[in-house]
């Protein structure tokens, strides 16, 4: 009976502490977030070197391998192609990833030469996502046709996170978290600068 008097309050204190940590995890673990109606901007404490932005040029895609499945990603190389880039980080054990697979494959086959669409299984190839802020699957890394991180329009809705360097505030990554269907993928690539044909 005396043990119950001690255990119950200890469990309550632990539960309250856990809720406090979860609610304040960004400030505790060093991430500042600013939410607007359209975009969430996160500023990680440490970022590895991001690819330098490619100059605005004509698409340089001759000889590029547009196959969907990828095991290694060179973001700087992709950024220099002069076309939008969408890299989907997922896994075969992720339900939304599996639901999105057919649409991703269809988009990849339709936009080759006008955009790059890649899929990386992060469990089979964890090193491919080592420098990319992937918190959930699926997560899409978005690069516009000029080789810059995509900047969603104000009315884009939630799901986009823009990452900037804490020291310089330089925008280094934009990701979308969650599944996208065929129409959403095509609209996104178009907004990122994909040519109509």
Average of pLDDT values for 64-75? 94
pLDDT at residue 63, rounded to an integer: 86
pLDDT level of residue 37 (50, 70, 90 thresholds): very low
* Contacts with 131 (C-beta within 8 Å, 6 or more apart), sequence order: 48, 50, 75
Q: Which of 194, 187, 197 is nearest to 85 (CA)?
A: 194
pLDDT digits (tens, 9 = 90+) for 13-34: 555 555 454 444 444 334 433 3
Lowest mean pLDDT among 8-12, 39-43, 79-83, 93-97: 39-43
Whether 47 shows a pLDDT value over 80: the answer reads: no
pLDDT level of residue 124 (50, 70, 90 thresholds): very high
Structure pTM? 0.72
For the chain, helix (H) and strand (E) counts, in that order, are: 5, 7
Residue predicted with more confidence, 131 or 120: 120
Q: What is the CATH number of domain 31-191?
A: 3.40.30.10
Average of pLDDT values for 160-181? 95
pLDDT at residue 54, rounded to an integer: 42
| CB neighbourhood size of 39 (10 A) | 19
pLDDT at residue 38, rounded to an integer: 36
**What DSSP string describes 54-99?**
PPS-S---TT----SB-S---HHHHHTTSS-EEEEEE-TT-HHHHH
Taking all residues of the chain, what is their mean pLDDT, rounded to a whole number?
Answer: 80
Q: Are 138 and 19 in contact (CB under 8 A)?
A: no
Domain-wise residue ranges, the chain = 1-30, 31-191
């Amino acid at each position: 009976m005396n043990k119950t008097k001690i255990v119950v309050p200890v469990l309550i204190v632990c539960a309250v502490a856990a809720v406090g940590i979860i609610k304040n995890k960004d400030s505790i673990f060093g991430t500042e977030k600013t939410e607007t109606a359209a975009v969430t901007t996160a500023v990680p404490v440490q970022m590895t070197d991001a690819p330098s932005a490619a100059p605005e040029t004509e698409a340089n895609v001759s000889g590029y391998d547009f196959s969907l499945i990828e095991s290694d990603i060179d973001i700087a190389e992709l950024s220099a192609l002069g076309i939008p880039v969408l890299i989907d980080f997922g896994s075969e054990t992720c339900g939304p990833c599996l639901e999105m697979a057919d649409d991703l494959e269809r988009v990849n086959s339709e936009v080759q030469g006008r955009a790059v669409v890649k899929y990386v299984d992060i469990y089979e190839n964890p090193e491919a996502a080592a420098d990319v802020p992937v918190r959930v699957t699926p997560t899409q890394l978005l690069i516009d046709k000029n080789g810059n991180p995509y900047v969603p329009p104000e009315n884009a809705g939630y799901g986009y996170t823009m990452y900037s360097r804490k020291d310089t505030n330089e925008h280094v990554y934009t990701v979308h978290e969650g599944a996208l269907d065929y129409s959403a993928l095509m609209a996104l690539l178009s907004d990122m600068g994909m040519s109509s044909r």
